[in-house]
Structure 1
Amino acid sequence: MPVQRCRLDPDLQGKVALAVDCSGHEGAVLKGCRIVRRMGEVVLVGVPWRKYTDLTAHDVLNPVFFNHVTLRSGWEWELPMHGRSFQWEELLGGYNNALHSIFSGFSRALEWLTEGKIPLDGLVRSTSPDNPERLYADIMARHIDEPFIVLDWSGLTSSP
């Protein structure tokens, strides 16, 4: 998975609050640490199954330290999906009883996508799921430039 496939817009440098790496590629993590704004956050969701580059810990830690980046693991099951009711003891213990939850955030994001409030031009490849072998071959051969692939099931008819 060559990191050079990840094209970063130089106009975004220092303006990004959150970068989420889903690749597990140390080069992508380094790019995330370099593009986030001061005090930005980089969340590591992708599992680093193997070493892809010759980067050292110093290469990543340098922008983390000098840009005050928060670098954390993204184990999504550690976070509650739904908000909890107010508990005074939890408040004293530091629990942030926020108005929204992860679930309500997902719901809001899906609403914004449905309403067209999030510009997706050049980011999404929509394709039919009728030929998964071809789709996976195109992914492996890096014939798809868009970072997201959506399987559009609306054109398929169900068999009796």
Structure 2
Amino acid sequence: MTTAAIAALVVRYGIVMLFLPFSAFDKIFSFDHAVKQAQQVFSPRSLAIAVLMVGLFVEIVCCAAIVIGVADRAAAFVVAGYCAVTALLYKQFWKQGDFFADPGGKGRTLFWDFLKNLSLGAGFLLLIVGTDGSGLQPFLDAPFASSHPYGR
């Protein structure tokens, strides 16, 4: 493996490691807690479990695809959307009512978590558009193609 390929592997794993293995294992090993957290947004338990299973799929399958480099642009698109959706559903800083009143309050804490989710999602979008100036066209031409991050 070349130095560039090793660097690509380290960077790709670095961007997904929050999800794979940490968040995925947390959901698996603390399943009841994860269901209760999901029920804060999706009140029927069966719906919360279904949403949780979709989240596990994204965190395991899509993140693995990004690291392996198979259909990695499509997987990065899904994970970017997952980051945005979870920010909107679980990091609702605007609902806390203490954003301006308490610098150490829940609103501020959720605000920073909200921004972290969006920033991480933007990092996944960077995997889609690349840094070589080709932009979105390769993704639009073949969304399920691999970007061949480790050479051909």
- Give the number of the structure whose residues are more often helix, by fraction: 2
TM-score (ref. length: structure 1)? 0.26
Q: Which has the larger radius of gyration?
A: 1
TM-score (ref. length: structure 2)? 0.27
